Amino acid sequence: MALAALCRDDEWGRTWADVLQHRFRSNGELHDHAVGNLLIVALWELLGEAVDGLDWVGRLLGAEGRVLPMSAVPLDITARVLGLDPEHPELITEIRGQAEVASTEGHVVDVALDPADPPACPEALVAIAEADWVVVGPGSWFTSVIPNLLVPALCRGLEQTSARRLLTLNLGEQKGETDGFSPETHLEVLAGHAPDLRIDVVLADAGHVPDPESLRRTAESLGAELVIADIADEDRELHHAPDKLAKVYREIFLRP
């Protein structure tokens, strides 16, 4: 999805972006698998290197940018979840796997990686160190955003970079992962997993902030300024509008 989002804005790029995100519909083992994932795995096997495989797919799409993994070793997400046992709602259960965490009917207390201390992708560390701005989010909070902060070297890189850090909040709750979460809770959960990470700007959509002053106070506790703007897609529920988001990013990035 990240590669498709960076595709060249012409017939070639748009077509290949659609191909990468196409999911097979069948009664066989390929059902619901994305073409892009299979292509990436094939390149990994042929080239023997994760970054090279992603770079080749980027070249195929004419991507305006580069997609890098957070780690070059396979990882599992685990989560401690409250309330999965209806007879004992106070018990905490550990579940494993991105799909399971994303769709759990319990309350996610926290997430971790297995292995717990994976090596960070060296190219990602270089990119963070050389950046002017690092944008964290939006995305599935427990299965896409926070896991990056659980790779120790990557989190240290984000803490130590001279780049400014912008956190983009989701437009609302995600079924399963963040049911009942306010914008403030999203920030609190992130701070709980990466307590030493300071944020310069928190960006939120104007239509999804019930209590701006409360969110401003929570953002300030992370060292951040709160920016509230119209960044929602009018046609797709709970989706950011790419053009609106790009405009606000540009305004923030070009501040003196």
pLDDT tens for residues 227-236? 999 999 999 8
Residue 210 has pLDDT above 80, yes or no: yes
Residue 211 has pLDDT above 90, yes or no: yes
Match 């130590």 to its residue by tokens. 160
The total of structural domains in the chain comes to 3
Residue pLDDT, tens place only, 21-30: 999 998 888 8
Q: Are residues 124 and 211 in the same domain?
A: yes
Q: Are residues 87 and 105 in the same domain?
A: yes
Q: Are residues 108 and 131 in the same domain?
A: no
Residue 91 identity (one-letter amino acid): L
Q: Are residues 131 and 238 in the same domain?
A: yes
Please give the structure tokens belonging to residue 38. 């299979």
Q: What integer best gives the mean pLDDT of the chain? A: 93
Residue pLDDT, tens place only, 91-147: 999 999 998 998 898 899 999 999 999 999 999 999 999 999 999 999 999 999 999
Residue 254 maps to which CATH number? 3.40.50.10680
Q: Are residues 180 and 98 in the same domain?
A: no
pLDDT of residue 86: 85
Q: Are residues 235 and 184 in the same domain?
A: yes
Q: Are residues 134 and 178 in the same domain?
A: yes
Please name the residues in contact with 175: beta carbons below 8 A apart, sequence gap of 6 or more. 103
Q: Are residues 25 and 100 in the same domain?
A: no
Rounded CA separation 197/218 (Å):
14
Q: Which domain, by its residues, includes 215?
A: 117-256
Residue 174 has pLDDT above 80, yes or no: no
Assign 179 a pLDDT band (cuts: 50, 70, 90): confident
Is residue 19 classed exposed, middle or buried when 0-12, 13-18 and 19+ CB atoms within 10 A define those classes?
A: middle
Q: Are residues 153 and 206 in the same domain?
A: yes
